[in-house]
Amino acid sequence: MFDIADKKYKEEIDVLNKAHQKEIEERNKIIQEHRAILESIEKEYDVKVEELEKRKKKELDKVVRENKEDPEKLAEEMSRLFGVKNV
Amino acid sequence: MAIVMATAPTIVLAEEAEQEGQLTTINKGEEAPYSGILLDSIAAAKINIDKKYSLLKYDLELDLEIKKLKAQYDLQLGTLQAQHDSLEDKHISLLKIKNDEIDRLRDIVKDNPNDHNHWWLAGGVVAGIVTSIAIFYAAVEIKENE
């Protein structure tokens, strides 16, 4: 009778340990996934910033080239962007 | 007093208009219409493009922060889900063990019922017989003593 009760208690402890172990494994998996996602987000951001810098440089060259002789268009653009009056 | 009141709003409006700022294009050798800062086309283009691209970069940073926050919340949600699943597993398994134990004890009780009615009956009959004999004996003893 007592042997059976003892066996049952051991079974219960075993169940609790297994569930706890499973939870820890699952949590570690989620943390690893989270780290991978963060890394990918940061990487994506870096790529986009790099692309933006390239586009910016390209556009700057183009704007300088186009407006070197006639800065009126540039003045209009500045007026619009900065909210100042072009007189 | 009336003159001051009438002219004050006009002065304020003029100041506001001046504070908006102004820009103009001038060619080399032309007289500047007002004092200020003279930029060449390259510097002006740089300022222009910087302003435009700082807005785009801000959008990228905002997007990054939103994605980071979402990832953070997903992590929290995942952790809680794992905790919930674990608790559910524990609950189901323990409940099964307890139910098995209840069934086992019920079977034991079924096999060894705590029913002693036949002993009570036999005991009652014997006690009745003994009491009857005792009463009879007592009655005989009393009669003989008279």
Overall average pLDDT of the A15-39 stretch:
93
Inter-chain residue contact B75 with A30, CB threshold 8 Å: yes
For the record, the structure tokens of B89 come out as 């597993």
Query: Band of the pLDDT at B10, cuts 50, 70, 90?
Result: very low
- Shortest distance between the Cα of B50 and any Cα of chain A, in A, equals 8
Inter-chain residue contact A15 with B90, CB threshold 8 Å: yes
Query: Which of A4, A18, A34, A65 to mutate to probe the B interface, most B CBs <10 Å?
Result: A34
- Shortest distance between the Cα of B139 and any Cα of chain A, in A, equals 55
Inter-chain residue contact B25 with A81, CB threshold 8 Å: no
Inter-chain residue contact B49 with A59, CB threshold 8 Å: yes
- Shortest distance between the Cα of A20 and any Cα of chain B, in A, equals 7
* Among B47, B83, B94, beta carbon nearest to A12: B94
Inter-chain residue contact A56 with B49, CB threshold 8 Å: yes
Q: Cα–Cα distance between B24 and B72 in angstroms, integer?
A: 50
Q: What is the pLDDT of residue A69?
A: 74
Whether pTM > 0.90 for this model: the answer is no
Element holding B83 (H helix, E strand): helix B41-111
The SS3 assignment for B23 reads strand
* Among B41, B60, B85, beta carbon nearest to A71: B41
- Whether residue B5 is predicted with pLDDT greater than 80 in this model: the reply is no
Reported in sequence order, the residue ranges of A1-87 that DSSP labels E, i.e. its strands, are 85-86
ipTM of model = 0.76
Boundaries of every domain in chain A: 2-82
Q: Cα–Cα distance between B51 and A82 in angstroms, integer?
A: 9
Q: What is the mean pLDDT of chain A?
A: 89
Q: Cα–Cα distance between B32 and B24 in angstroms, integer?
A: 9
Q: Which of A3, A56, A19, A44 is nearest to B91 (CA)?
A: A19
- Whether residue B4 is predicted with pLDDT greater than 60 in this model: the reply is no
Half-sphere exposure of residue A62, counting CA atoms within 13 Å on the CB side? Answer: 7
